[in-house]
Structures are given as structure tokens and as C-alpha cells.
Structure 1
Amino acid sequence: MMQQTADERPGIAAAIIVHEGRVLMVRRRVSEGKLSWQFPAGEVEPGESPADAAVRETKEETGLDVSAAKLLGERVHPATGRLMSYTACEVVSGTAHVADDEELAELAWVAHDEIPEYVPYGLYEPVQQYLDGALAR
């Protein structure tokens, strides 16, 4: 069996959840570099698809039941070096709250024009393009 290198760490799946004209963002208790506000996200478990991981992490972190709509894109994150996948999700039921208070400090439903205040360094382009379309209505 080959030894795992750092780059073979599990990928991170992020959920892009748009509801009533806003996108759900969470603030982690421990910020990763300058990443403070981000999307609900977590490691993809063995045998799990990125979409399934995004749905599961959203439930664990925010208590929200969502369904995966489409994969928006994947990239190696420039700040963390982790493989990231971004899945657009739709709310099925529930009300978002800080369900995992060890991980999360707070969450917010962010309007389109507020995104730069939360993510001043800009979003991954396919995610921004999706939000431009989904939130511009």
C-alpha cells in the first residue's frame, strides 16, 4: 500500500445553499488562515460522493435538510491546498441554526450585495457566477 501524501487528504465538500434570495454562510470558531466566513463544508468520507458530503455536513453544522442540485466545480484551494468541491443545494426542510457549536460560531443568510463584506477576497469563480444568477432575481 502506498503511503499517503498530504495532497491525498480527503477532499472538502462545500454546500452552496440559496434560499429566499440569500446564500447561507457560516463562521468557524477557528478560522483557517483568512477564511472566516465560508460555506457549510467538511471532509468527504470514504465511499461518499462530494454531493452527499455537502448534504451531510450542512445537516450536521446547521440542522438544515438540503438536497444536492448540481456540482458547480472543483479546485485545489489556493489557501489550504485541499481539493474542494462546491455543490449547489436546495433547502428541503428545517431552519438553519448553529447545530455544531464546537465548529461554528454563527451563521448568516447573506444577500448578493453583502457577499464581499463576508468574503472580501472573492469567491471561486463558478460559485460567484452561480450566485450572480441565483441571487440576482
Structure 2
Amino acid sequence: MTEKTETKPPVSMAIITKGDRVLMVRRRQQEGKLLWAFPGGGIEVGETPEQAAVREVAEEVALEAKAIRVLGARVHPQTGADMTYVACEPVTGEARVEDEEELAEVAWITLEEIPVYVPWGLFGPVQDYLESALVVGR
């Protein structure tokens, strides 16, 4: 059996926080072990990771977001995709499933709930950011 190698496009993920919660989406199709993830998707030609994150948030969850800063990048251990994680804040709108072909559900979750949604843990810089950004106990 020969292995087929395919180049995956780079992906930008939006880490959107509000109060003591972060936005996650449940995809209709599981990618490797991934079912729940941050909103995001492929970076288009000529786009920065920040622009891609903001665009994908609008397309997927009907939320206008503002990119704050890039948190880090890596090759995702579950999917093999080049990932960039972008801290964002909501500007207007209410998060909901906008792209019904891709998404099944959205959820604002607490830091303590992350292991239920992502049992293998988050990328270190994302975890560190969430620990400092989420307003716990307010």
C-alpha cells in the first residue's frame, strides 16, 4: 500500500473570548479525532492569518470579530495542517451556526470545560492565553 501525501492549506483559528468563556464550534465532519474546534478555516491567497480568522468567524458563526494578535503557529498533531491561532474579540452579533454544511453547533465554554471538548489539551500558547484572558468568577 502506498501512502498518498497531500498538501493541506494553511489554516487560521480564531480564539474568541467573552467574559469567562471561549467560543467553540462542533463540525459536522470529524477531522481525525477533532470534532470540537475553534472557528476557523483555510487562509486564502493574499490573506494574513488575522484576516482569515475574522473572515472565517463571519462565514461560520455570523459574528463580527476583531483580531487582537497572533498567539502562535504549529503543525496540528491530529490533522497535520499548518495552523495559526489568532486571539480575537467579538464586535457585533450573536454567535450561531451560519454555515450549516460545515457546523452542527456552537458553544461558549469555560476554561474548566475545555478538557470535555478537547480531551488531549490545547496548544500551549492558546492555553496560556485563555488562562490569562478569561475573566473567572465574575
TM-score, normalised to structure 1's length?
0.93
Partner of 1:95: 94
The one-letter amino acid of 2:96's match is H
Q: Secondary structure of the residue that 2:28 maps to in structure 1? A: strand
Partner of 1:6: 6
Q: Aligned equivalents of 1:34 and 1:131: distance in 2?
A: 22
The one-letter amino acid of 2:19's match is E
Partner of 1:21: 20
Q: How do 1:38-57 and structure 2 match up within 5 A?
A: 38-57=37-56
Partner of 1:80: 79
Is the contact between residue 19 and residue 135 of structure 2 (CA under 8 Å) also seen in structure 1?
no
The one-letter amino acid of 1:64's match is L
Report how far residue 80 of structure 1 moved: 1.3
The one-letter amino acid of 1:33's match is G
Map Cα deviations across residues 81-119 of structure 1 (whole Å, 9 max, x no partner).
110000000111000000001000001000111111111
Is the contact between residue 66 and residue 91 of structure 1 (CA under 8 Å) also seen in structure 2?
yes
Partner of 2:117: 118
Report how far residue 136 of structure 1 moved: 4.8
RMSD (Å) for aligned C-alpha atoms: 1.1
Q: Aligned equivalents of 2:126 and 2:76: distance in 1?
A: 13
Is the contact between residue 42 and residue 54 of structure 1 (CA under 8 Å) also seen in structure 2?
yes
Partner of 2:70: 71
Residues matched between the structures, number: 132
Unaligned runs of 5+ in 2: none
TM-score, normalised to structure 2's length?
0.92
Moved over 3 A (4+): none
Q: Aligned equivalents of 1:87 and 1:117: distance in 2?
A: 22
Map Cα deviations across residues 18-48 of structure 1 (whole Å, 9 max, x no partner).
0121000000000101101100010000000
Q: Aligned equivalents of 1:25 and 1:57: distance in 2?
A: 13
The one-letter amino acid of 2:134's match is L
Partner of 1:108: 107
Unaligned runs of 5+ in 1: none
Q: Aligned equivalents of 2:33 and 2:78: distance in 1?
A: 8
Q: Percent identity at matched positions?
A: 56
Q: Secondary structure of the residue that 2:36 maps to in structure 1? A: strand
Q: Secondary structure of the residue that 1:45 maps to in structure 2? A: coil
